């Protein structure tokens, strides 16, 4: 009986942890406002447990539950808030709604942030 209970507990915990995935990928942006927008928006999405965007290398680390959201859905969501990823380009309407200092496609804005 004890062995059966122990095995059941192990199976439950292993299935919970196997649903959690960690991914790192490129997300375009140029400033602290971009960082704040990306991280705050992502953490509100059901299934995303952590979002940490690095301004230096423009990569995001995302910890998410694969049962609730896919990596492709995360890329699409980030594009929908105005930021390009390697898999998804932000729609013009979303990109144009960004503040002027966040226009990462504008070379002058990028130069101003270096």
Segments making up each domain of the chain, as ranges: 22-112
Reported as a single tens digit per residue, the pLDDT across 66-110 is 999 999 999 999 999 999 999 999 999 999 999 999 999 988 888
Q: How far apart are CA 67 and CA 25, in angstroms?
A: 20
Percent share of the chain, pLDDT over 70:
84
Alpha carbon 104 to its chain centroid, in Å, reads 17
> Residue 52's closest CA among 36, 66, 28, 75?
36
Reported as a single tens digit per residue, the pLDDT across 7-38 is 656 655 555 556 889 999 999 999 999 999 99
- Residue range 22-112, CATH number: 3.30.70.100
Q: How far apart are CA 106 and CA 35, in angstroms?
A: 18
Q: What does the block give as tokens for 73?
A: 């859905």
């Amino acid at each position: 009986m004890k062995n059966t209970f122990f095995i059941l507990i192990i199976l439950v915990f292993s299935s919970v942890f196997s649903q959690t995935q960690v991914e790192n990928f490129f997300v375009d942006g140029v400033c602290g406002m971009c960082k704040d927008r990306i991280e705050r928006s992502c953490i509100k999405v059901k299934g995303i447990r952590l979002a940490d965007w690095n301004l230096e290398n423009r990569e995001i680390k995302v910890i998410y539950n694969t049962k609730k959201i896919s990596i492709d859905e995360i890329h699409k969501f980030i594009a929908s808030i105005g930021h390009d990823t390697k898999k998804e380009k932000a729609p013009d309407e979303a990109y144009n709604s960004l503040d002027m200092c966040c226009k990462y496609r504008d070379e002058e804005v990028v130069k101003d942030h270096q």
